[in-house]
Amino acid sequence: MKVIVTGTGDAFSNRRFGSSALIQTSEGFVAIDCPPACLAMYRQASETSGIQINPGSIHDLLITHLHVDHAGGLETLGFYRRYKAPGNGLAGLWAAPAVMDRMWERLAPSMDGRMFSDKPKTSLEDFFKPGLLDLECRTKVANLEVRVRWTAHAVPTVGMLISDGTATLGWSGDTEFLEEHAQWLSEADLIVHECGESAKHATWAELSTLPLELQNRMHLLHVPDEVTLPEGPMVCLNDGDVLDITSPVTDSA
Ligand SMILES: [Zn+2]
């Protein structure tokens, strides 16, 4: 599984884009979260990674939660697909129920074309193909299988286990440090965990209490600009990094 890390910043970063990624699939890119300035983000990630990213052909978006640094680019992408790149159809927009419940509430004031007392002219379905991520079983998105788990943050937020049949990516979503969340993610071959160093986020000190074997498979993002993490087994990601995730070969002998 090839993953382009498109952003590693937190909501206040002035150097990096919001924490997000694109997974390459045979059906096109599947995005994890969609931060503000997403078109600039995808252009920069194309240059850094050497992998051409066309935002007009992103197949699906998986949204962990509605904070700006994770969902603030949806308006740009929705309008871009509708008016600048209409040839590729609408992108799938996937979120867990309590996140999807308020998706249009977040987007409507700037996207529904309503003037003063007019009726809304558009709905979420005019910009995206919305779909719910099932909390109980796997949801098929492009050729991936996605499992989600609620975690503890300031608003409803999920972590994700995303498999392509060969390898599995674990994505913590924004989260307080929860050992059970990290254990749930430990099924993945590689885990991208947030490290926010503040309230409602996990700290490096907390994450470094996890078993070493798990830390060795854990990469960090969402670290505030002013924080320098100690050296350790958990690798800190940069915007534009490419992760090639493989499953360890099991010895059948
Ligand atoms: Zn958040």
Tens-place pLDDT, residues 54-89 = 999 999 999 999 999 999 999 999 999 999 999 989
Q: Ligand 1 centre and the CA of 189: distance in Å? A: 24
Any idea how long the chain is?
Answer: 253
2-244 has CATH 3.60.15.10 classification: yes
Least confident of 63-67, 99-103, 239-243, 248-252: 248-252
Q: Give me the mean pLDDT over the 175-188 stretch.
A: 97
Q: Ligand 1 centre and the CA of 98: distance in Å? A: 15
* Burial of 87 per CB tally in 10 Å (0-12, 13-18, 19+): exposed
- Predicted TM-score (pTM) of the model is 0.96
- pLDDT, residue 76, reads 98
Q: Ligand 1 centre and the CA of 153: distance in Å? A: 7
pLDDT(141) > 60:
yes
Q: Ligand 1 centre and the CA of 116: distance in Å? A: 32
Q: Ligand 1 centre and the CA of 19: distance in Å? A: 10
Q: Ligand 1 centre and the CA of 88: distance in Å? A: 30
Residue ranges of domains in the chain = 2-244
pLDDT(252) > 80:
no
- pLDDT, residue 40, reads 98
Q: What is the pLDDT of residues 147-181, one digit of tens each?
A: 999 999 999 999 999 999 999 999 999 999 999 99
Q: Give me the mean pLDDT over the 19-41 stretch.
A: 98
Give residue 133's identity as a one-letter amino acid code: L
- pLDDT, residue 9, reads 97
Using alpha carbons only, what angle is made at residue 173 by residues 5 and 6, rounded to the nearest 5 degrees? Answer: 15
Q: What is the pLDDT of residues 199-232, one digit of tens each?
A: 899 999 999 999 999 999 999 999 999 999 999 9
Say how far apart CA 223 and CA 208 lie, in whole Å. Answer: 15
At 177, give phi and psi (nearest 5°): -70, 120
CB 25 within 8 A of CB 164: yes
- pLDDT, residue 249, reads 66
Q: What is the pLDDT of residues 101-138, one digit of tens each?
A: 999 999 999 999 999 988 999 999 999 999 999 999 99
Q: Ligand 1 centre and the CA of 50: distance in Å? A: 29
Distances in whole angstroms, Cα of residue 17 to Cα of each of 28, 73, 205:
22, 11, 24
User: Is residue 219 within a helix (H) or strand (E), and if so which, with residue range?
Assistant: strand 218-221
Q: Ligand 1 centre and the CA of 29: distance in Å? A: 23
Distances in whole angstroms, Cα of residue 218 to Cα of each of 145, 191, 244:
21, 5, 14
Q: Ligand 1 centre and the CA of 138: distance in Å? A: 24
Q: Ligand 1 centre and the CA of 67: distance in Å? A: 5
Q: Ligand 1 centre and the CA of 77: distance in Å? A: 20
pLDDT(251) > 70:
no
Say how far apart CA 99 and CA 238 lie, in whole Å. Answer: 27
Distances in whole angstroms, Cα of residue 69 to Cα of each of 64, 116, 233, 246:
11, 29, 26, 29
Q: Ligand 1 centre and the CA of 154: distance in Å? A: 7
Mean pLDDT score of the chain: 96
The contacts of residue 137 (CB under 8 Å, 6+ apart) are 147
* Burial of 179 per CB tally in 10 Å (0-12, 13-18, 19+): exposed
pLDDT(253) > 90:
no
